[in-house]
Chain A
Amino acid sequence: MSIVEDAKQAVQGAVQGAMQKAIQMAPDSFMPGGKPDPLIRQQHGHIGKPISRLDGPVKVRGEATYAAEFPLDGMLYAALVFSTIAKGRIASLDTDAAEAAPGVELVMTYRNAPRMASMPLFMTSEKACGGNDLPIMQDDRIYWNGEPVALVLAETQEQADHAASLIAVTYDADHSITAMAAAKAKGTEPGMFMGQPLQFATGDAAAALAAAAHRVDETYTTPRHSHNAIELHAATVAWQGDTLRVHDASQMVAHTAWSLGHVFGIDEDKVHVTSPFVGGGFGSKGLWQHQVLAAAASKLAGRPVRLMLSREGVYRIVGGRTVTEQRVAIGASEDGRFDALIHTGTTAMSRHNVLPEPFIVATRSAYAAGSMALDVEVAYLDMVANTFMRAPGEAVGTFALESAIDELAVAMDIDPIELRLRNEPDKDPTTGATFSSREVEKAYRDGAERFGWAERGAPGSRREGEWLIGTGVATATYPYYRMPGGAARITLRRGGHATVDIAAHDMGMGTATAQTQVAADRLGLAMEQVTFRYGDSTLPGVVMAGGSQQTAAIGASVMAAHRDLVTELLKLAGNDSPLAGLDVDEVVGVDGGLAKTDDRTRHESYASILSRAQRDEVVVEATPPAPLETMHWSMHSHGAMFCEVRVNAVTGEVRVSRFLGSFDCGRILNPKTAASQFRGGIIMGLGLALMEETQFDERNGRIMNPSLAEYHVPVHMDVPAIDVIWTDIPDPHTPMGARGVGEIGITGVGAAVANAVFNATGKRVRDLPITLDKLL
C-alpha cells in the first residue's frame, strides 16, 4: 500500500472516528432501532417457531440445482492448470498435446486470454468483491504457488482434466518470500481493516502489567485454515448477446455482478448472477479467479462454460484463514480486576488482498481493563490471498484471549467464570458506547447450571482408565453488523399473496425460511401466502451474506419496504375504511390485512383495500436508513462455551465428550435453523481446536494437503452430542430483536477445548491445533 493510500485511510479513519463520537452522542430516537421494531412485542406469530427449512424437500429429492448443475446447450467443461512456483515468470508453456487431445475445444493461457481488468478488491468500494486484485492470465507473471496458468475447455470434464495434465509449463523463479520468519525479518506493517487501524491503546498497559499483582504473558499461535465447503466453488456461464449470465455459488450476487462488469468493462446490469442454492459459504463464496476465467473462456469459445474447481483447486485459488502469532498479557489486581490487557501480534497476508486476520476485534469489547494495548501487525508473503473464514478475527483471537484468561484464573486460583464476570464492562471498553443488550452473565449462569460446571475438579484429578477427563469454558462473541446497501421490494397481490424480493442469500442456513416467517408476521399473512425470493443480482439490494449481518440487513430492508407498503395501503384505503385517519405508526399487519395496533376491530383485509382501489397489486421498494445504530450502541452477541474432553494418558489423543453452547444472540427467529448454525459453528470450532491445519510449505509456498483426506475436519466420531441453549432476550435496537447467529458458534471453541485439555492434563497447549504430539 502506498503512502498516499495510507494517508487517505488515516484521514478516513479520523473522519470516521469523529463521526462515531457524534453518532454516539445523538439521541437514541435519531437512530435506526431507536424505536423498537413492533415485531419484538409480537409473541404469537411464526417467529420463534422451529419451522423446517422450506427448501428441505427439494434438496432431499435432489431437485435443488447448484451452480455446477445447470445444463446449458453446447456447454464446454473447464479444467485448470496451477503454477508450481510462488513468484516469477512462465518460461515456457507447451499446450500442443492438450490442444490435440480428444474433445478439446481450446486452451486459454495469458497468450490468448481476452484483455480484462483485475478484479476490484473486496471492500475497496461498495460492490467490490474480488478475492485479489491481480492480473488474471494477462501476462507471464506468477504471484503465488497455485495460480491458474492455463485453462482447458473440452466436451466433457474427463477430457478437459486429461488435456490439462498434458500441458507442460516451466518457470523462471524470482526470489519469493514464503516463510513467516523471512517475512517478519523484512519488517511488519500495522494492519488496517475496513478503513480503520487495527490498533488501540488506552493508558500505559506495559507499566500497568509490570505493576500488577497477578499477570500472565504468553504467546499463542494458530495455523492457516483452508475453506472446505461441501459444494466446490463453481460457475456455469454463458454470454447471451452482450449479457453475461452466471450461475454461481455465491454469498454476494450483486457484488459479483458489479465486479464482473468491472473486469469485462460492461455495465453491471449486463451481468446477471444467480445463486439459488449454495452448499456452504463460510466467507469463501465470493469472487475468485474461477468465475472470471470461466467467463473469459466462454467469450473465447463462443459457447457456455462450466467451471467447477476440484477440491485441490479450491485450496490453490480460494484463500483461507491466515496464520497468526498472538501475545496476550493480562495484569490483574488482587481481586482479579484487569489493570492491563495487551493483545498484540502478527499475521501473514499477501500484498493483493485486504484482510489482515483481525484477531483483536473480540478483545476490543470483551472486558473492562484499566489500560489496553491492541495491535495487529502484518507480515507480507507471496501466497494465495487469504480471506474471510467464519468469524475472521474472533475465531482465532478468542483462542488466545480466552486461553490467557484461563491461565490467569489458574494462577489466581479463582473460578474462570467468576474471573470473567468480575471484568464485565458497563460500557464498551474501547468506544465508550452503551451496550444495546448484553447478557453475558445470564449466558454463563444458565450454561454453568445445565452443564454441571460446579462438579469440576482440579487439573489432572479425574481419570477413567487411560482417559484423563477435564472441563473448560470460554466466552464466545461476535458483533452485530448491518452493512449499507440493503433494499427490498414487496409485491402485495389482491388475493392476499406477498412476494418479498431481495438480492440476499441462503447458503443452507435457512435464510429463506426464517425470512418467510418474519415477512408473514410483519404482513399478518400465513407462511404459504409469502414468497421470499433471493439469490439473484437483478433483485433489489446489495446484501452480502457475511459478517452474520444478513438477518439484520434483510430485516431492516423489509421493514423499510413494509412501511412504504402500509403508507400506500392506507392511502388506497381512503376514508371508507375502518382504517380511515390512521397513520403508518398506528397500524399492524394482522389476519391478512391491516388493523389499528391497539384496536384490532378496526381491520380491513388487503383484498378489500385493493379491490376497492381497483388494484391487482401494490409494489413498493425501499432502502433502510444507514446502519448508524452500530456506532451509536455497542452491539454484540455473546456465548458461554462449555467443553468436556477426554485425553488419553498413553497416546495423547483428545476426544471431546460433551459440549454446551449457551448463547445470547437476541431473539431467535427459528430455533431449528439457529440451533443448526450454532452446532455447525461449534463443530467447525472443534476442527480449529483439534485438527485443522493447511500445510503451507514455507520453502516454496505450496499447499501440501489440498484434499479432505489429509486436511482434517471433524468426522462424526469426533463430534459429541452438542447442547445449545439461548437467552432469547430481544435486542431492543435491532430488526425483530435478533442478532445474526452464523459465526458466533465457532468463537470461543478453541479456548474452551484448550482450557478443558489443561484441566484434564495440567498441560497448556498454546499452539493450534491441539494434536496428540503436543500432549505426549
Chain B
Amino acid sequence: MTPFTFTRAVDASDALTRASDVGARYFGGGTNLVDLMRETVEQPTTLIDVTGLSTTIAETTDGGLMIGAAVTNTALAEHRAVRTHYPVLSRAIVAGASAQIRNMATVGGNLLQRTRCTYFYDVEGSRCNKRQPGQGCDAIGGFNRIHAILGASPSCVATHPSDMCVALAALDALVHLSSVSGTRTLPLTELHRLPGEHPAIETMLEPGELITAIELPAMPMAARSAYRKVRDRASYAFALVSVAAALEVEDGRVKDVRLALGGVAHKPWRAFRAEAALRGGPATVAAFTAAAQVELADAQPLRDNGFKVELAKRTIAAVLADLAGVSA
C-alpha cells in the first residue's frame, strides 16, 4: 500500500472542499477500495472519509425513499420500507456480501465498486486498459469466464460486480450528486459507462463529484420483485449472472415490468429491450423466454463465458415466471 493522508469530512460541502486534490478519493466502508490499495491498483494520496454524510433513510413526498450515501448496506437491507416495498433491493444486498462486509460497506461506495477482473488486479503481471489506458487487455484471450457478454469493447471486457446496483437499475433509482459547481441527479442506469475506448473512465462523475444520496421513486409494482443471483458457490462469490425484476400482471398480460441483469456487462444492465418486448404481452414462460432472447440477441461471448448467454436467458425466464406465478 502506498502511503496516503486520511481525513474525515463532517458533511458534504466539507468533503467537496477537501477533494480538490487530484489524488483524493472518497472513502466509505473501504471494503473494495482498501483491497485495491493493498494491491496498489489504487494509489490515492488522500482518503476523505465520508461516512459522516447522511445515514438516514427517509420517505419522500411522492412515496419513494431517499437513502443517504453513508447508509450501510446492512441498514438498507434491513429497513422495513425497503423489505416491504422494494424486496428486490433487500435481497440483492444480502446476496452481495457477507454480514461483516455489509456492516462496513456504504450505499455510495457500493455504486463505485470496481471490477473483479483478475487481470485488472494483477498490477505487476498483466496488461489492463483500465489501470493503464492504451496498454492492452490480457483478459481477452485469457481467463474470461466471469467477463462481459453485453456492451463490451475491444479495450475492455470487464463486468461491474455490484448486486445492489442491479436492483437499483431495475428500480429506476436516481443518484444525487454534489460538486463545487452545484448539485444534480442522474438515473442510476446512466451513472456507469460502457467501456468503449476509455474503460478507465467508469462513471459519469466529474472529478471531485460526490454521491450524496440514492432516491427510489415510488413503484408499487416493486412490492412484487425478486433478485436471483447465480454463482459458482452458494455464497461469497460474485454473480456469473444475476437478475433483478419487478412484474405487474393483469388478466394474464404484462402490465408493467422492470428487468436488470448483473454479471454480464461493464455496468448494471437494464434490460430495456426485453421490457419493451414484454409490456402488454402475455405473461407466459414462452413470452419471458422470447423477451430474454431479444435482450441477449447482441451478446458477444468470449472464450470462456459463452454459457452466460444461455444462463441469462434461463434465469430471466425463471425469475419472471416465478413473479408471475406461472410454472416454467
Q: Which residue of the partner chain A has the closest CB to B228?
A: A651
**Which residue of the partner chain, among B2, B116, B124, B232, contacts A772 with CB atoms under 8 Å?**
B232
In the bound complex, do residue A709 and residue B116 qualify as a contact, i.e. CB atoms below 8 Å apart?
A: yes
Listed stretches A225-233, A600-608, A622-630, A715-723; interface member: A715-723
Contacts of A442 in B (CB 8 A): none
Instruction: Mark out the residues of chain B between 37 and 67 whose CB falls within 8 Å of any chain A CB in the assembled complex.
Output: 38, 40
Distance between B22 CB and nearest chain A CB, rounded to angstroms: 20
In the bound complex, do residue B314 and residue A650 qualify as a contact, i.e. CB atoms below 8 Å apart?
A: yes
In the bound complex, do residue B230 and residue A651 qualify as a contact, i.e. CB atoms below 8 Å apart?
A: yes
Contacts of B145 in A (CB 8 A): 773
Q: Is A691 an interface residue (CB 8 A)?
A: yes
Interface size on B, residues (CB 8 A): 33
**Which residue of the partner chain, among B118, B234, B311, B315, contacts A704 with CB atoms under 8 Å?**
B118
Contacts of B311 in A (CB 8 A): 651-652, 772-773, 776
Q: By CB atoms of chain A within 10 A, which of B40, B233, B318, B328 has the most?
A: B233
Give the distance in Å from the alpha carbon of A653 to the alpha carbon of B1 in the complex. 37
Contacts of A716 in B (CB 8 A): 235
In the bound complex, do residue A776 and residue B234 qualify as a contact, i.e. CB atoms below 8 Å apart?
A: no
Asked whether A715 and B3 contact (CB < 8 A) given A145-B125, A704-B122, A776-B311, the answer is no
Q: By CB atoms of chain B within 10 A, which of A651, A702, A707 has the most?
A: A651
Instruction: Mark out the residues of chain A between 52 and 101 whose CB falls within 8 Å of any chain B CB in the assembled complex.
Output: 81-82, 84
Q: Is A262 an interface residue (CB 8 A)?
A: no
**Which residue of the partner chain, among B118, B126, B314, contacts A710 with CB atoms under 8 Å?**
B118
In the bound complex, do residue B143 and residue A82 qualify as a contact, i.e. CB atoms below 8 Å apart?
A: no
**Which residue of the partner chain, among A161, A705, A776, contacts B310 with CB atoms under 8 Å?**
A776
In the bound complex, do residue B315 and residue A702 qualify as a contact, i.e. CB atoms below 8 Å apart?
A: no
Contacts of B207 in A (CB 8 A): none
**Which residue of the partner chain, among A651, A695, A707, contacts B143 with CB atoms under 8 Å?**
A695
Contacts of B232 in A (CB 8 A): 691, 712, 771-772
Asked whether A84 and B116 contact (CB < 8 A) given A655-B234, A715-B236, A771-B232, the answer is no
Asked whether A650 and B235 contact (CB < 8 A) given A697-B143, A702-B125, A710-B116, the answer is no
In the bound complex, do residue B118 and residue A699 qualify as a contact, i.e. CB atoms below 8 Å apart?
A: no
**Which residue of the partner chain, among A652, A690, A707, contacts B233 with CB atoms under 8 Å?**
A690
**Chain B contact residues, majority secondary structure:** loop
Q: Is B323 an interface residue (CB 8 A)?
A: no
Instruction: Mark out the residues of chain A between 694 and 735 whose CB falls within 8 Å of any chain B CB in the assembled complex.
Output: 695, 697, 699-700, 702, 704-705, 707, 709-710, 712, 714-718
Q: Which residue of the partner chain B has the closest CB to A686?
A: B233
In the bound complex, do residue B314 and residue A702 qualify as a contact, i.e. CB atoms below 8 Å apart?
A: no
In the bound complex, do residue B126 and residue A165 qualify as a contact, i.e. CB atoms below 8 Å apart?
A: no
Contacts of B6 in A (CB 8 A): none
Q: Which residue of the partner chain B has the closest CB to A312?
A: B39
Give the distance in Å from the alpha carbon of A213 to the alpha carbon of B165 in the complex. 59
Q: Is B272 an interface residue (CB 8 A)?
A: no
Q: Is B23 an interface residue (CB 8 A)?
A: no
23 cross-chain CB contacts under 8 A: A81-B124, A82-B124, A161-B1, A650-B318, A650-B328, A651-B311, A697-B138, A699-B138, A699-B141, A702-B125, A704-B122, A704-B143, A710-B116, A715-B234, A715-B235, A716-B235, A717-B233, A717-B234, A718-B233, A718-B234, A718-B235, A771-B232, A772-B307
Give the distance in Å from the alpha carbon of A69 to the alpha carbon of B3 in the complex. 25
Distance between B157 CB and nearest chain A CB, rounded to angstroms: 14
Q: Is B252 an interface residue (CB 8 A)?
A: no
Summed over the interface, the residue pairs from A and B with CB atoms below 8 Å come to a total of 85
Q: Is A583 an interface residue (CB 8 A)?
A: no
Distance between B307 CB and nearest chain A CB, rounded to angstroms: 4
Contacts of A651 in B (CB 8 A): 230, 311, 314-315, 318
Asked whether A162 and B1 contact (CB < 8 A) given A651-B314, A717-B234, the answer is yes
Residues of A within 8 A of B (CB): 81-82, 84, 102, 145, 158, 161-162, 165, 466, 650-653, 655, 690-691, 695, 697, 699-700, 702, 704-705, 707, 709-710, 712, 714-718, 771-773, 776
Q: Which residue of the partner chain A has the closest CB to B38?
A: A161
Contacts of B142 in A (CB 8 A): 697, 699, 704
In the bound complex, do residue A695 and residue B118 qualify as a contact, i.e. CB atoms below 8 Å apart?
A: yes
Q: Is B237 an interface residue (CB 8 A)?
A: yes
Give the distance in Å from the alpha carbon of A690 to the alpha carbon of B234 in the complex. 11
In the bound complex, do residue A717 and residue B118 qualify as a contact, i.e. CB atoms below 8 Å apart?
A: no
Q: Is B240 an interface residue (CB 8 A)?
A: yes
Q: Is B269 an interface residue (CB 8 A)?
A: no
Q: Is B227 an interface residue (CB 8 A)?
A: no
Q: Which residue of the partner chain A has the closest CB to B308?
A: A773
Contacts of A102 in B (CB 8 A): 3
Contacts of B116 in A (CB 8 A): 709-710
In the bound complex, do residue A165 and residue B233 qualify as a contact, i.e. CB atoms below 8 Å apart?
A: no
In the bound complex, do residue B237 and residue A712 qualify as a contact, i.e. CB atoms below 8 Å apart?
A: yes
Contacts of B119 in A (CB 8 A): 704
- Known interface pairs A715-B236, A773-B311; 13 further A-B residue pairs with C-beta atoms within 8 A, sorted by A's residue number: A650-B315, A650-B318, A690-B233, A695-B118, A702-B125, A704-B122, A704-B126, A705-B118, A709-B116, A718-B233, A771-B232, A776-B311, A776-B314
Instruction: Mark out the residues of chain B between 1 and 45 whose CB falls within 8 Å of any chain A CB in the assembled complex.
Output: 1-3, 38, 40
Q: Which residue of the partner chain B has the closest CB to A101?
A: B3
In the bound complex, do residue B126 and residue A702 qualify as a contact, i.e. CB atoms below 8 Å apart?
A: yes
**Chain A contact residues, majority secondary structure:** loop
Asked whether A772 and B318 contact (CB < 8 A) given A162-B1, A162-B3, A704-B118, the answer is no
Contacts of B314 in A (CB 8 A): 650-651, 776
Give the distance in Å from the alpha carbon of A710 to the alpha carbon of B118 in the complex. 8
Distance between A83 CB and nearest chain B CB, rounded to angstroms: 9
Distance between B270 CB and nearest chain A CB, rounded to angstroms: 22
Distance between A617 CB and nearest chain B CB, rounded to angstroms: 52
Give the distance in Å from the alpha carbon of A716 to the alpha carbon of B236 in the complex. 10
Give the distance in Å from the alpha carbon of A716 to the alpha carbon of B122 in the complex. 28
Distance between A414 CB and nearest chain B CB, rounded to angstroms: 34
Distance between B30 CB and nearest chain A CB, rounded to angstroms: 16
The 5 tightest CB contacts between A and B, nearest first, are: A717-B234, A773-B307, A84-B125, A704-B118, A717-B235
Contacts of B141 in A (CB 8 A): 699
In the bound complex, do residue A653 and residue B230 qualify as a contact, i.e. CB atoms below 8 Å apart?
A: yes
Distance between A535 CB and nearest chain B CB, rounded to angstroms: 32
Contacts of A717 in B (CB 8 A): 233-235
Distance between B59 CB and nearest chain A CB, rounded to angstroms: 35
Contacts of B328 in A (CB 8 A): 466, 650
Asked whether A714 and B233 contact (CB < 8 A) given A82-B124, A162-B2, A650-B318, the answer is yes
Give the distance in Å from the alpha carbon of A623 to the alpha carbon of B236 in the complex. 49
Give the distance in Å from the alpha carbon of A716 to the alpha carbon of B98 in the complex. 12
Instruction: Mark out the residues of chain B between 124 and 148 whose CB falls within 8 Å of any chain A CB in the assembled complex.
Output: 124-126, 138, 141-143, 145
Contacts of A710 in B (CB 8 A): 116, 118
In the bound complex, do residue A691 and residue B233 qualify as a contact, i.e. CB atoms below 8 Å apart?
A: yes
Instruction: Mark out the residues of chain B between 231 and 248 whose CB falls within 8 Å of any chain A CB in the assembled complex.
Output: 232-237, 240
Q: Which residue of the partner chain A has the closest CB to B146?
A: A710
Q: By CB atoms of chain A within 10 A, which of B1, B116, B142, B145 has the most?
A: B142
Give the distance in Å from the alpha carbon of A271 to the alpha carbon of B19 in the complex. 55
Contacts of A162 in B (CB 8 A): 1-3
**Which residue of the partner chain, among B122, B125, B233, B307, contacts A712 with CB atoms under 8 Å?**
B233
Distance between B64 CB and nearest chain A CB, rounded to angstroms: 32
Give the distance in Å from the alpha carbon of A710 to the alpha carbon of B310 in the complex. 23
Distance between B207 CB and nearest chain A CB, rounded to angstroms: 25
Q: Which residue of the partner chain B has the closest CB to A710?
A: B118
Give the distance in Å from the alpha carbon of A475 to the alpha carbon of B232 in the complex. 26
In the bound complex, do residue A702 and residue B2 qualify as a contact, i.e. CB atoms below 8 Å apart?
A: no
Q: Which residue of the partner chain B has the closest CB to A773?
A: B307
Contacts of B237 in A (CB 8 A): 712
Distance between B56 CB and nearest chain A CB, rounded to angstroms: 32
- 0/1 interface trace, chain B 141-177, chain A, CB 8 Å (1 if under): 1110100000000000000000000000000000000
Give the distance in Å from the alpha carbon of A776 to the alpha carbon of B309 in the complex. 11
In the bound complex, do residue B234 and residue A702 qualify as a contact, i.e. CB atoms below 8 Å apart?
A: no
Distance between B109 CB and nearest chain A CB, rounded to angstroms: 17
Asked whether A158 and B125 contact (CB < 8 A) given A697-B143, A704-B143, the answer is no
Distance between A685 CB and nearest chain B CB, rounded to angstroms: 15
Contacts of A709 in B (CB 8 A): 116, 236
